[in-house]
Amino acid sequence: MTSTPDTVVLVHGLWVHGIVMALMRRRLERDGFRVFAYSYPSVRLGFVENAARLARYCRDMGALRSHFIGHSLGGLIVLRMLEEAPDVVPRRVILAGTPVAGSHAARRLARLPGGSAALGRSMMEWIEPRPLVCSTGCDIGVIAGRMPVGAGRIVAPDLPAPHDGAVSVEETRLPAMRDHIVLNVSHSGMLVSRAVAHQIDAFLRDGAFDKADGEWRMADGKRRKAEG
């Protein structure tokens, strides 16, 4: 008897469409997962509205017991959805470059002419973050980047290092996370990185990131250099 593959829902970040998750989707499908790439209006609609839309999408797709992978703002949408939709019970959640502790770069951009409009309603609602609580008891893994390449350096040259060009490593830390890893990748580069795809696959299967030489990882609150 062939077992039913686990379902994964991919949620993109600000200013883009679900098509940007296409390579990640293909890689996960090759690894045996059933994958959906969700698209939402990241600028036009607010935080709560987008979270509610994601919950409806999961219900319509029959994906109430899925894994979730959120990139940047997408991770915040996933966490907010889990607060508001008790019928959506995730298996595992991965946040990639998600500014759970607030976004220094976004605050800088919001002060510039037209910056608030560019950030859109969802991100502006996250300028002053509040604690996000995932009460489902699911495993949460966090991937951060340390390749400082991206537009965030232009609007926020004082972005605290290490960072991925848009989000600092410290901004990605969530108290409820089970594991945390920092990879040599930029914010946008996470979407096409083989290393990120490998770590996503490892966490979805084992609930922990794979150890790799030269990478910093954190588990159970302890930061250490991973051993090969």
Q: How far is CA 165 from CA 89, 145, 188, in A?
A: 32, 8, 9
Residue 208 DSSP class: S
Domains annotated on the chain, with CATH: 7-219 (3.40.50.1820)
Report cis status (omega within 30 of 0) of the bond before 129.
no
Which pLDDT does position 67 carry in this prediction?
Answer: 96
Backbone angles phi, psi at 171, to 5 degrees: -70, -15
pTM, whole model, 2 decimals?
A: 0.90
Q: What is the C-alpha to C-alpha distance for residues 98 and 114, in angstroms, rounded to an integer?
A: 23
Q: What is the C-alpha to C-alpha distance for residues 142 and 76, in angstroms, rounded to an integer?
A: 12
Which pLDDT does position 220 carry in this prediction?
Answer: 39
| The residue type at 21 | M
- Among candidate residues 76, 34, 23, the one with its CA nearest the CA of residue 54: 76
Q: What is the C-alpha to C-alpha distance for residues 215 and 226, in angstroms, rounded to an integer?
A: 6
Which pLDDT does position 121 carry in this prediction?
Answer: 92
Q: How far is CA 222 from CA 125, 138, 225, 226, in A?
A: 31, 20, 10, 11
SS3 content of the chain, % helix, strand, coil (to 5): 35, 20, 45
Facing residues of 223 across strands? 218
Which pLDDT does position 135 carry in this prediction?
Answer: 62
Q: What is the C-alpha to C-alpha distance for residues 74 and 39, in angstroms, rounded to an integer?
A: 10
Q: What is the C-alpha to C-alpha distance for residues 198 and 44, in angstroms, rounded to an integer?
A: 33
Which pLDDT does position 134 carry in this prediction?
Answer: 67
Contact in structure between 14 and 43 (CB atoms under 8 Å):
yes
Pair of tokens at residue 74: 């997408």
Q: Look-up: residue for tokens 């890689």?
A: 27
Mean pLDDT by 10 residues, the chain (228 residues): 82 95 97 95 94 96 91 96 91 96 93 93 84 76 96 90 96 94 97 96 96 49 41
